[in-house]
Amino acid sequence: MGKSDSIWAKIDLKSSPEKFYGFFRNHLGDLVDLFPENYKSIQLVEGQHFSGGTVVQFKFQFGFGHQLRVEKWAIRAVDDVKKYIIYEAVEGDVLKQFKVLRVKVEAVHGGSTKVGGGNFTKWTVEFEKANENVASPQNYLELFVKISKGVDAYFSNN
């Protein structure tokens, strides 16, 4: 059994955590319109609704060379109270590099009384490399930071 690891990023939100979470909960396909340079299509391929067990196929470009990727990700958990969603890669070239690649996006009320308080989103990428020569999935985290800032800006301006 290999060693699991994780990387994460915290992004401050100007918009409300409810709006931000609601976008990823109910309007994930709109990433194609907001980020056409990255997302080519997003389709529900298994399941009726956006819930645990649903499988979503992403066609997207990112990273070195902007190669087109086609990956299927299963939704492992959705928590509307705590405002988080967990995805896990289940098909695609990414599984040649990682035995496990799991992503958690959560929207958090930071509160105004905390030092450095305020609303934020946190993306956590858990992974197990297929071998020691594989780099950490930093390119995924960078994409998630980019789309978080874009979605937040969209809600801040609308």
Better pLDDT: 8 or 50: 8
Q: What gap in Å lies between CA 118 and CA 109, rounded to an integer?
A: 7
pLDDT of residue 104: 98
* Structure confidence at residue 64 as a pLDDT band (50, 70, 90): low
User: What pLDDT sits at residue 67?
Assistant: 84
Q: What is the mean pLDDT of the chain?
A: 91
- Full residue range of the structural domain in which residue 62 is found: 5-157
Say what the pLDDT of residue 124 is.
Answer: 98
| Partners of 91 in beta bridges | 72
pLDDT tens readout for residues 91-131: 999 999 999 999 999 999 986 545 445 899 999 999 999 99
The enclosing domain of 44 has a CATH number of 3.30.530.20
Is 85 strand, coil or helix? strand
Query: What mean pLDDT is predicted for residues 17-41?
Result: 95
Q: How far separated are the first and last CA of the chain, in Å rounded?
A: 48
Number of domains in the chain: 1
Q: What pairs with residue 9 in β-bridges?
A: 123
Burial degree of 48 (CB within 10 A; 0-12, 13-18, 19+): exposed
pLDDT at position 1 over 50: no
